Amino acid sequence: MPALFVVVVLLILVAATIFAGVKTVPQGQEWVVERLGKFHKALKPGLNFIVPYIDNVSYRVSTKGDVLSIGSQEVITKDNAVIITNAVAFIKVTDPTRAVYEIQNYEYAIQNLVMTSLRAIIGQMDLNNALSEREHIKARLQENIAKEVANWGIYVQSVEIQDIKPSESMQRAMEQQASADRFKQATILEAEGKREAMIREADGKLEAAKREAEAQVRLAQASARAISDISESVKDRDLPTLFLLGDRYINAIQKMATSQNSKMIMLPADLPAAIRGMMGKS
Protein backbone atom coordinates (compact mmCIF):
# COMPACT_ATOMS: atom_id res chain seq x y z
CA MET A 1 0.00 0.00 0.00
CA PRO A 2 2.72 2.61 0.78
CA ALA A 3 4.39 1.78 -2.53
CA LEU A 4 1.13 2.20 -4.40
CA PHE A 5 0.55 5.54 -2.75
CA VAL A 6 4.01 6.72 -3.74
CA VAL A 7 3.41 5.66 -7.35
CA VAL A 8 0.11 7.50 -7.49
CA VAL A 9 1.70 10.63 -6.05
CA LEU A 10 4.51 10.42 -8.58
CA LEU A 11 2.06 10.00 -11.44
CA ILE A 12 0.11 13.02 -10.24
CA LEU A 13 3.32 15.04 -10.02
CA VAL A 14 4.35 13.98 -13.52
CA ALA A 15 0.92 14.87 -14.93
CA ALA A 16 1.00 18.24 -13.18
CA THR A 17 4.51 18.86 -14.47
CA ILE A 18 3.53 17.99 -18.01
CA PHE A 19 0.42 20.19 -17.73
CA ALA A 20 2.52 23.05 -16.37
CA GLY A 21 5.04 22.72 -19.19
CA VAL A 22 2.59 22.47 -22.09
CA LYS A 23 0.63 25.61 -22.98
CA THR A 24 -1.93 26.04 -25.74
CA VAL A 25 -2.30 29.71 -26.70
CA PRO A 26 -5.60 30.55 -28.43
CA GLN A 27 -5.68 32.53 -31.67
CA GLY A 28 -5.75 36.28 -31.10
CA GLN A 29 -3.60 36.15 -27.97
CA GLU A 30 0.06 36.12 -27.00
CA TRP A 31 1.30 35.11 -23.59
CA VAL A 32 4.30 36.72 -21.91
CA VAL A 33 6.50 34.23 -20.04
CA GLU A 34 8.85 35.19 -17.22
CA ARG A 35 11.63 32.96 -15.98
CA LEU A 36 12.43 33.48 -12.34
CA GLY A 37 10.80 36.92 -12.42
CA LYS A 38 12.48 38.11 -15.61
CA PHE A 39 11.08 38.28 -19.13
CA HIS A 40 11.90 35.15 -21.07
CA LYS A 41 9.75 34.96 -24.22
CA ALA A 42 6.31 35.51 -25.71
CA LEU A 43 4.23 32.48 -26.64
CA LYS A 44 2.51 32.63 -30.05
CA PRO A 45 -0.91 31.07 -30.77
CA GLY A 46 -0.75 27.26 -30.83
CA LEU A 47 1.07 24.61 -28.82
CA ASN A 48 4.03 25.86 -26.75
CA PHE A 49 6.36 24.38 -24.15
CA ILE A 50 7.88 26.03 -21.12
CA VAL A 51 10.01 24.79 -18.23
CA PRO A 52 7.68 23.90 -15.36
CA TYR A 53 8.15 25.60 -12.00
CA ILE A 54 10.80 27.90 -13.51
CA ASP A 55 8.87 29.61 -16.28
CA ASN A 56 5.62 31.38 -15.51
CA VAL A 57 2.94 32.89 -17.77
CA SER A 58 2.71 36.39 -16.32
CA TYR A 59 0.51 38.18 -18.90
CA ARG A 60 -2.11 37.11 -21.40
CA VAL A 61 -2.33 39.87 -24.01
CA SER A 62 -5.03 40.10 -26.69
CA THR A 63 -3.70 40.95 -30.14
CA LYS A 64 -7.17 41.57 -31.54
CA GLY A 65 -8.31 45.05 -32.40
CA ASP A 66 -9.76 46.83 -29.40
CA VAL A 67 -12.09 49.81 -29.00
CA LEU A 68 -11.43 52.39 -26.29
CA SER A 69 -14.21 54.78 -25.41
CA ILE A 70 -13.09 58.32 -24.61
CA GLY A 71 -15.53 59.98 -22.23
CA SER A 72 -17.15 63.36 -22.84
CA GLN A 73 -15.20 66.41 -21.77
CA GLU A 74 -15.49 70.18 -21.99
CA VAL A 75 -12.96 71.85 -24.26
CA ILE A 76 -12.31 75.59 -24.64
CA THR A 77 -11.71 76.85 -28.18
CA LYS A 78 -9.37 79.61 -29.31
CA ASP A 79 -12.18 82.19 -29.10
CA ASN A 80 -13.09 81.09 -25.55
CA ALA A 81 -16.16 79.05 -26.53
CA VAL A 82 -16.96 75.92 -24.51
CA ILE A 83 -17.78 72.76 -26.47
CA ILE A 84 -18.39 69.17 -25.39
CA THR A 85 -16.73 66.33 -27.27
CA ASN A 86 -16.00 62.62 -27.00
CA ALA A 87 -14.30 60.02 -29.17
CA VAL A 88 -13.42 56.37 -29.67
CA ALA A 89 -9.98 54.93 -30.44
CA PHE A 90 -9.44 51.69 -32.37
CA ILE A 91 -6.13 50.12 -31.34
CA LYS A 92 -4.23 46.88 -31.84
CA VAL A 93 -1.35 45.44 -29.82
CA THR A 94 1.52 44.59 -32.15
CA ASP A 95 4.21 43.91 -29.53
CA PRO A 96 2.80 42.36 -26.33
CA THR A 97 6.14 42.49 -24.57
CA ARG A 98 6.46 46.25 -24.89
CA ALA A 99 2.75 46.71 -24.15
CA VAL A 100 3.13 45.13 -20.70
CA TYR A 101 6.60 46.37 -19.79
CA GLU A 102 6.74 49.90 -21.29
CA ILE A 103 3.51 51.16 -19.72
CA GLN A 104 1.59 50.22 -16.58
CA ASN A 105 -1.88 50.32 -18.15
CA TYR A 106 -1.86 51.11 -21.84
CA GLU A 107 -5.65 51.40 -22.17
CA TYR A 108 -5.91 54.00 -19.43
CA ALA A 109 -2.85 55.79 -20.81
CA ILE A 110 -4.27 55.96 -24.35
CA GLN A 111 -7.62 57.27 -23.09
CA ASN A 112 -5.93 60.11 -21.22
CA LEU A 113 -3.59 60.78 -24.14
CA VAL A 114 -6.53 61.15 -26.53
CA MET A 115 -8.34 63.50 -24.15
CA THR A 116 -5.23 65.65 -23.70
CA SER A 117 -4.46 65.81 -27.42
CA LEU A 118 -8.09 66.59 -28.22
CA ARG A 119 -8.05 69.56 -25.85
CA ALA A 120 -4.81 70.82 -27.35
CA ILE A 121 -6.00 70.53 -30.97
CA ILE A 122 -9.40 72.16 -30.42
CA GLY A 123 -7.79 74.82 -28.25
CA GLN A 124 -5.96 76.07 -31.35
CA MET A 125 -9.19 76.43 -33.37
CA ASP A 126 -12.11 78.83 -33.18
CA LEU A 127 -15.65 77.62 -32.59
CA ASN A 128 -16.81 77.53 -36.21
CA ASN A 129 -13.76 75.55 -37.40
CA ALA A 130 -13.99 73.15 -34.46
CA LEU A 131 -17.60 72.34 -35.30
CA SER A 132 -17.10 72.00 -39.07
CA GLU A 133 -13.61 70.48 -39.48
CA ARG A 134 -14.18 67.12 -37.79
CA GLU A 135 -12.05 65.22 -40.33
CA HIS A 136 -9.15 67.63 -39.78
CA ILE A 137 -9.35 67.11 -36.00
CA LYS A 138 -9.51 63.35 -36.48
CA ALA A 139 -6.43 63.30 -38.73
CA ARG A 140 -4.33 65.42 -36.36
CA LEU A 141 -5.48 63.43 -33.34
CA GLN A 142 -4.59 60.09 -34.91
CA GLU A 143 -1.21 61.42 -35.97
CA ASN A 144 -0.39 62.67 -32.47
CA ILE A 145 -1.55 59.48 -30.76
CA ALA A 146 0.24 57.16 -33.19
CA LYS A 147 3.59 58.78 -32.45
CA GLU A 148 3.14 58.46 -28.69
CA VAL A 149 1.91 54.88 -28.48
CA ALA A 150 4.33 53.44 -31.04
CA ASN A 151 6.90 52.95 -28.25
CA TRP A 152 4.34 50.90 -26.33
CA GLY A 153 4.02 48.30 -29.09
CA ILE A 154 0.52 49.47 -30.00
CA TYR A 155 -0.86 50.52 -33.39
CA VAL A 156 -3.63 53.11 -33.57
CA GLN A 157 -5.93 52.06 -36.40
CA SER A 158 -8.27 55.01 -36.18
CA VAL A 159 -9.60 57.71 -33.88
CA GLU A 160 -13.19 58.81 -34.48
CA ILE A 161 -14.88 61.91 -33.09
CA GLN A 162 -18.25 60.66 -31.87
CA ASP A 163 -19.78 63.97 -30.92
CA ILE A 164 -18.71 67.58 -30.84
CA LYS A 165 -21.21 70.27 -29.91
CA PRO A 166 -21.40 73.55 -27.99
CA SER A 167 -22.28 73.44 -24.32
CA GLU A 168 -25.84 74.32 -23.29
CA SER A 169 -24.86 77.86 -22.33
CA MET A 170 -23.05 78.30 -25.66
CA GLN A 171 -26.06 76.96 -27.56
CA ARG A 172 -28.31 79.53 -25.87
CA ALA A 173 -25.82 82.30 -26.66
CA MET A 174 -25.54 81.15 -30.29
CA GLU A 175 -29.32 81.05 -30.65
CA GLN A 176 -29.60 84.59 -29.27
CA GLN A 177 -26.84 85.79 -31.59
CA ALA A 178 -28.47 84.10 -34.59
CA SER A 179 -31.80 85.72 -33.72
CA ALA A 180 -30.12 89.12 -33.40
CA ASP A 181 -28.33 88.63 -36.72
CA ARG A 182 -31.57 87.69 -38.47
CA PHE A 183 -33.33 90.76 -37.03
CA LYS A 184 -30.41 92.96 -38.07
CA GLN A 185 -30.42 91.51 -41.58
CA ALA A 186 -34.16 92.01 -41.88
CA THR A 187 -33.82 95.63 -40.73
CA ILE A 188 -31.03 96.24 -43.24
CA LEU A 189 -33.06 94.70 -46.07
CA GLU A 190 -36.10 96.78 -45.14
CA ALA A 191 -34.01 99.97 -45.03
CA GLU A 192 -32.41 99.14 -48.37
CA GLY A 193 -35.84 98.49 -49.85
CA LYS A 194 -37.14 101.86 -48.66
CA ARG A 195 -34.00 103.56 -49.92
CA GLU A 196 -34.36 101.91 -53.32
CA ALA A 197 -38.03 102.92 -53.48
CA MET A 198 -37.17 106.53 -52.61
CA ILE A 199 -34.41 106.59 -55.22
CA ARG A 200 -36.75 105.23 -57.87
CA GLU A 201 -39.47 107.69 -56.89
CA ALA A 202 -36.99 110.57 -57.06
CA ASP A 203 -35.68 109.33 -60.40
CA GLY A 204 -39.24 109.17 -61.65
CA LYS A 205 -39.98 112.70 -60.52
CA LEU A 206 -36.73 113.92 -62.07
CA GLU A 207 -37.54 112.19 -65.35
CA ALA A 208 -41.06 113.62 -65.28
CA ALA A 209 -39.67 117.09 -64.59
CA LYS A 210 -37.22 116.74 -67.44
CA ARG A 211 -39.95 115.68 -69.81
CA GLU A 212 -42.20 118.48 -68.59
CA ALA A 213 -39.41 120.96 -69.20
CA GLU A 214 -38.80 119.51 -72.65
CA ALA A 215 -42.52 119.77 -73.38
CA GLN A 216 -42.56 123.40 -72.26
CA VAL A 217 -39.54 124.15 -74.42
CA ARG A 218 -41.11 122.47 -77.42
CA LEU A 219 -44.37 124.26 -76.73
CA ALA A 220 -42.54 127.56 -76.54
CA GLN A 221 -40.70 126.76 -79.71
CA ALA A 222 -43.95 125.86 -81.42
CA SER A 223 -45.54 129.06 -80.20
CA ALA A 224 -42.57 131.05 -81.43
CA ARG A 225 -42.79 129.39 -84.85
CA ALA A 226 -46.52 130.04 -84.96
CA ILE A 227 -46.05 133.71 -84.09
CA SER A 228 -43.28 133.98 -86.63
CA ASP A 229 -45.47 132.42 -89.29
CA ILE A 230 -48.38 134.69 -88.46
CA SER A 231 -46.18 137.79 -88.43
CA GLU A 232 -44.69 136.81 -91.73
CA SER A 233 -48.12 136.29 -93.19
CA VAL A 234 -49.89 139.41 -91.94
CA LYS A 235 -46.89 141.72 -91.66
CA ASP A 236 -48.34 143.10 -88.41
CA ARG A 237 -46.22 143.53 -85.32
CA ASP A 238 -49.11 143.67 -82.84
CA LEU A 239 -50.96 140.63 -84.09
CA PRO A 240 -48.36 138.04 -82.94
CA THR A 241 -48.36 139.52 -79.46
CA LEU A 242 -52.11 139.57 -79.46
CA PHE A 243 -52.18 135.91 -80.51
CA LEU A 244 -49.69 134.87 -77.82
CA LEU A 245 -51.50 136.68 -75.02
CA GLY A 246 -54.79 135.31 -76.17
CA ASP A 247 -53.43 131.80 -76.23
CA ARG A 248 -52.00 132.14 -72.73
CA TYR A 249 -55.25 133.69 -71.49
CA ILE A 250 -57.33 130.82 -72.84
CA ASN A 251 -54.92 128.22 -71.30
CA ALA A 252 -55.19 129.94 -67.93
CA ILE A 253 -58.98 129.87 -68.13
CA GLN A 254 -58.87 126.14 -68.97
CA LYS A 255 -56.68 125.37 -65.93
CA MET A 256 -58.97 127.34 -63.66
CA ALA A 257 -61.97 125.48 -65.02
CA THR A 258 -60.41 122.06 -64.24
CA SER A 259 -59.60 122.99 -60.62
CA GLN A 260 -61.59 121.23 -57.86
CA ASN A 261 -62.19 124.44 -55.92
CA SER A 262 -65.52 126.23 -56.27
CA LYS A 263 -65.14 129.17 -58.62
CA MET A 264 -66.86 131.70 -60.79
CA ILE A 265 -65.21 132.75 -64.00
CA MET A 266 -66.15 135.95 -65.72
CA LEU A 267 -65.15 136.33 -69.36
CA PRO A 268 -64.95 139.64 -71.18
CA ALA A 269 -67.48 140.17 -73.94
CA ASP A 270 -64.78 141.39 -76.32
CA LEU A 271 -61.70 139.20 -75.76
CA PRO A 272 -59.49 140.87 -78.39
CA ALA A 273 -60.28 144.30 -76.93
CA ALA A 274 -59.40 143.02 -73.45
CA ILE A 275 -56.10 141.71 -74.71
CA ARG A 276 -55.33 144.99 -76.44
CA GLY A 277 -56.07 146.66 -73.13
CA MET A 278 -53.37 144.49 -71.53
CA MET A 279 -51.01 145.72 -74.20
CA GLY A 280 -51.88 149.33 -73.37
CA LYS A 281 -53.66 149.90 -76.61
CA SER A 282 -57.27 150.80 -77.23
Q: DSSP per residue over the chain, as a string?
A: -HHHHHHHHHHHHHHHHHHHHEEEEPTTEEEEEEETTEEEEEEPSEEEE--TTTEEEEEEEE-SEEEEEEEEEEEE-TTS-EEEEEEEEEEEES-HHHHHHS-S-HHHHHHHHHHHHHHHHHTTS-HHHHHH-HHHHHHHHHHHHHHHHGGGTEEEEEEEEEEEEE-HHHHHHHHHHHHHHHHHHHHHHHHHHHHHHHHHHHHHHHHHHHHHHHHHHHHHHHHHHHHHHHHHHH--SHHHHHHHHHHHHHHHHHHHHH-SS-------S-HHHHHHHHTT--
Nearest-angstrom CA–CA distance, 119 and 128: 16
pLDDT band at 203 (very low <50, low <70, confident <90, very high): confident
The pLDDT, as a whole number, for residue 27 is 92
Which range in 11-15, 170-174, 212-216, 277-281 is most confidently predicted, on average pLDDT?
11-15
pLDDT band at 259 (very low <50, low <70, confident <90, very high): low
Q: Is the pLDDT of residue 31 over 90?
A: yes
Nearest-angstrom CA–CA distance, 111 and 222: 97
Residues ≥6 apart with Cβ < 8 Å to 268: 274
**Strand 65-76, strand 82-93: pairing:** antiparallel
Q: Is the pLDDT of residue 231 over 60?
A: no
> Mean per-residue pLDDT for 40-51?
90
The pLDDT, as a whole number, for residue 247 is 66
Q: Identify which of 213, 248, 244, 251 has the alpha carbon closest to the alpha carbon of residue 229.
A: 244
Q: Identify which of 188, 183, 83, 86 has the alpha carbon closest to the alpha carbon of residue 130.
A: 83
pLDDT band at 215 (very low <50, low <70, confident <90, very high): confident
Nearest-angstrom CA–CA distance, 161 and 142: 11
Q: Identify which of 147, 126, 130 has the alpha carbon closest to the alpha carbon of residue 138.
A: 130
Nearest-angstrom CA–CA distance, 219 and 143: 86
Cα distances (Å, whole numbers) of residue 211 to 205, 215, 216, 223:
10, 6, 9, 18
Longest dimension (CA), the chain: 179
Q: Is the pLDDT of residue 200 over 60?
A: yes
The pLDDT, as a whole number, for residue 249 is 65
Mean pLDDT rounded to a whole number for the chain: 79
What length does the chain have? 282
